[in-house]
A = this chain, B = another copy of it.
Amino acid sequence: MLRMSRITDYGIVLLTKLAADAAAAERAEGSADSPTSTAPETIHNARELAARAGLPLPVVSKILKTLTRGGFLVSQRGARGGYALARRPEEISVASIIDALEGPIALTECGTEPQGACERESRCAVRQPWQRINREVRKTLERVRLSDLAGPGPDFDDSHAAFPLLLQEPLPVSPGSGAPAAD
């Protein structure tokens, strides 16, 4: 199914919420005297985020810890502590989030392993092409930023084309192949 783990899925949802809140707070206070992104308004603790996302607290807690280690969040311990985005949403790509939560993006193992690590490499005819496919999928995921996922606001509308970069038409396929693959 070419899927990523549920943890990553949850992680992106959580980051999206934080990004949306940060954007809302920034908008609300204008250019006030709270310059840092760790202003109290943008700090949320795990319990609150778990409740809002409808996910169990331990899971959310684990994910937030990982994201902090990965440099996406800054944490504040103790009473009134919590998490806040460490960077602006536009500076965080979906690819980097996936990297942090479940290792480097690669459809096949030979995409990440150093060359020569696969004992079947000698008779493997597709290593090079796969590496290119991996690269291309990765580029796609790098183009998408957290700010794209957060959307323009709570009244998010699909027709707004949140990230128009993804709406480009697919390039024409190889000439001569009239019928596309059945799918």
Contact indicator A91/B180 (Cβ below 8 Å): yes
Query: In the complex, what residues of B have CB within 8 A of residue A142's CB?
Result: 170, 173, 180-181, 183
Closest residue of B by beta carbon distance from A19: B125
Contact indicator B2/A4 (Cβ below 8 Å): yes
Q: Among A3, A88, A94, find the residue whose CB has the most chain B CB atoms closer than 10 A.
A: A3
Given A90-B176, A104-B1, A125-B13, are A140 and B137 neighbors across the interface (CB < 8 Å)?
Answer: yes
Q: CB within 8 A of A102: which of B2, B13, B181? A: B2
Query: In the complex, what residues of B have CB within 8 A of residue A132's CB?
Result: 162-163, 166-167
What size tier do the contact residues of chain A reach? Answer: 35 or more
Contact indicator B156/A123 (Cβ below 8 Å): no
Q: CB within 8 A of A165: which of B54, B105, B171, B178? A: B171
Contact indicator A53/B120 (Cβ below 8 Å): yes
Contact indicator A129/B148 (Cβ below 8 Å): yes
Shortest beta-carbon distance, A137 to chain B, in Å?
Answer: 6
Contact surface of A with B, Cβ cutoff 8 Å: 1-4, 9, 12-13, 16-17, 20, 52-55, 71, 87-88, 90-96, 98-99, 102-109, 112, 120, 123-126, 128-130, 132-133, 135-137, 139-145, 147-151, 156, 158, 162-163, 165-168, 170-171, 173-174, 176-183
Q: 3 tightest A-B contacts by CB?
A: A96-B181, A90-B177, A93-B181
